[in-house]
Amino acid sequence: MAPKRPFRNRLNDLTPKQWLKFQKSWFIHSPPPRRREVKQHPAKFPETMAQEFVEFFTKRGQVVLDPMVGTGSTLCACLRSGRHSIGIELNPEYATMAAEIVDAEQEKLGDKTAELRAEVINHDATLLDELDLPTIDYVLTSPPYWDILHARGAETQKRRREASDLDQTYSDDEADLGNIHDYDEFLRRLVTIYSKLRDVLRAKAYMTIIVKNIKKGGRIYPLAWDLARQLSEIYTLKDERIWCQDDIRLAPYGMGNAWVSNTFHHYCLQFRHEPSAK
């Protein structure tokens, strides 16, 4: 009987058991409550979830990019897992907030992060070619969910309006993707941003986009599926994971009249930069 071949991990630093756990196609992640200093941002994904993706798709010491970094979730996750990180943020207030949060995280973690780069760049992600970025080993990002933050009837937006110190939208900047009201134009510009990342993304490296389909005006706009289809012409779409949120209160949308679901899931789309892909 031939000896068992030793496990060789070229992608990350996980054990076989840890690797297998991540391969489940859906997962429930209930993050800890958001800290007061990051509630200003209207749509933030949790550092704890970001860390799971970073640790699966990279090894320690590699470089992670988030081209729409918000308040710095990805960068904090990278510090905790020993990865270098770069975040790009259009809104100068969020960029400043992210830099302060990342600095505080680095100070809390102490000497073990002293050699790690964790940089927030206040810049427009559509102009990535103006930046002198290094070779990137992994991209983790979540774009604006179209202009949904402008939907006055959304329950979360109602609650944020009641708390007058919280932002209801990302910004008033015309360059902000969340302010584009034409769906096709929004999708085109989003695809353009992600396609430019091919120039800096290492061959065989992955990109994860966390996104969901959008309900607006009584219909579904399949943002996740449209992104998957269009970006598949540039990268290889390898798979998807479904992030399920099981800690949100149900609302009686359309009750007694029409089917309207409570949408508590997001698509985590996994793309790979294959040099032969067109």
Distance CA 86, CA 63 (A): 8
Mean pLDDT of the chain: 87
Largest CA distance in the chain: 70
- For 252, the token pair is 């009686």
Say what the pTM is. Answer: 0.87
Q: What is the average pLDDT across 237-264? A: 91
Q: Where does residue 72 fall: left (phi above 0), alpha (psi -120 to 50 degrees), or beta otherwise?
A: left
Whether residue 34 has pLDDT greater than 80: no
CA distances from 56 to 19, 81, 134, 156 (A): 7, 10, 21, 31
Q: At what angle do helices 47-57 and 73-81 cross, to 10 degrees?
A: 50
- Which three-class secondary structure state does DSSP give residue 214? strand
| Number of CB atoms found within 10 A of residue 173's CB | 14
Residues 98, 103: Cα–Cα separation, whole Å: 8
pLDDT tens for each residue of 57-110: 999 999 999 999 999 999 999 999 999 999 999 999 999 999 999 999 999 999
Select from 32, 31, 14 the least CA-distant residue to 23. Answer: 14
Cβ within 8 Å of residue 57, ≥6 positions away: 11, 12, 138, 140, 205, 206, 208
Classify domain 34-272 at the CATH topology level. Rossmann fold (3.40.50)
pLDDT digits (tens, 9 = 90+) for 219-230: 899 999 999 999
> What digits encode the pLDDT tens for the residues 143-193?
988 878 766 555 554 553 454 555 444 456 666 787 889 999 999 999 999
Nearest C-alpha neighbor of 202 from the set 10, 68, 36: 10
Q: Where are the domains of the chain?
A: 34-272
More confident site: 235 or 145: 235
